[in-house]
C-alpha cells in the first residue's frame, strides 16, 4: 500500500494516531478516545482499535491511573485532587498507589508542603494567614483533617523530618 493510500485508510489513521499518542505518554481509554474523535475518526473504529490495544496491553486504565497518581503525589497534590483529576480523565476507581498511602502519610505530606511554601510558624494570632494557607492546602487536594494537622504543625515537632 502506497503512503498516500495509507493516509486515506481510516483504520490505518486510527491505529497510527493512537499509537503515536501512547508512545508519548500513558493515556486513559477516555482521553485517547477523545483525542481520536478530535482527529475525526469514527466512534466504532475508535472502539475497535482501543479494544485491540487494551487486549495487547498497550492501553491500560490501571497503569495510567497508577502513573498519573504517582506523578501528582510527587508534585505535592493530595488524594482528593488526584482522584478528581482521574475522574475527569475517565478513571472511576482508586489506584493501588493511593490506597497504600496511610492517612498519617497524607498528613505528613501536607505538613511538608506547608513547610516548603510558608514555613511552620505559629498561626494562632494571624487568622488571614491561617485561612490563606488552609485554602492553598485545600486547593492542592488535602482533606480538612489533613489541612488541620498541617496548620497545627510546629518546627520544633518536625525538625529534620521535613525532607521529601
146 touches 107 (CB < 8 A):
yes
pLDDT at residue 87 greater than cutoff 70: yes
What pLDDT is attached to residue 4? 58
Indicate whether 163 belongs to any domain. Answer: no
> 136 with 151, same domain?
yes
Mean pLDDT across the chain, nearest whole number?
92
Question: Is pLDDT at 114 greater than 70 in this prediction?
Answer: yes
The reported pTM is 0.88
- Same domain for 16 and 54? yes
- For the cut 70, the answer to whether the pLDDT of residue 158 exceeds it is no
Q: Is residue 55 domain-shared with residue 24, that is, in the same domain?
A: yes
Tens digits of residue pLDDT in 135-150: 999 999 999 999 999 9
- Whether 164 is in a domain gets the answer no
Would 35 be classed as within a structural domain?
Answer: yes
Q: What's the confidence (pLDDT) of residue 159?
A: 60
Give me the number of domains the chain comprises: 3
**Pair 82, 141: CB distance under 8 Å:** yes
Say whether both 40 and 70 belong to one domain: no
- 64 burial (CB, 10 Å; 0-12 / 13-18 / 19+) is buried
Tell me: do 85 and 117 sit in the same domain.
Answer: no
Percent of the chain with pLDDT over 90: 84
Average pLDDT over residues 94-112: 97
For residue 150, the enclosing domain spans 103-158
CATH number for position 112:
1.10.10
Amino acid at each position: 500500500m502506497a503512503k498516500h493510500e495509507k493516509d486515506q485508510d481510516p483504520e490505518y489513521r486510527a491505529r497510527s494516531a493512537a499509537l503515536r499518542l501512547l508512545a508519548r505518554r500513558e493515556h486513559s481509554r477516555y482521553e485517547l478516545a477523545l483525542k481520536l474523535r478530535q482527529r475525526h475518526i469514527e466512534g466504532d473504529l475508535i472502539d475497535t482499535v482501543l479494544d485491540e490495544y487494551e487486549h495487547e496491553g498497550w492501553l491500560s486504565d490501571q497503569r495510567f491511573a497508577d502513573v498519573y497518581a504517582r506523578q501528582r503525589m510527587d508534585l505535592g497534590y493530595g488524594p482528593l485532587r488526584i482522584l478528581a483529576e482521574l475522574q475527569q480523565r475517565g478513571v472511576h476507581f482508586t489506584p493501588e498507589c493511593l490506597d497504600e498511602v496511610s492517612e498519617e502519610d497524607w498528613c505528613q505530606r501536607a505538613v511538608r508542603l506547608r513547610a516548603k511554601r510558608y514555613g511552620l510558624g505559629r498561626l494562632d494570632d494571624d487568622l488571614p494567614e491561617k485561612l490563606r494557607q488552609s485554602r492553598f492546602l485545600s486547593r492542592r487536594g488535602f482533606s480538612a483533617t489533613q489541612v488541620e494537622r498541617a496548620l497545627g504543625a510546629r518546627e520544633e515537632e518536625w525538625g529534620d523530618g521535613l525532607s521529601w
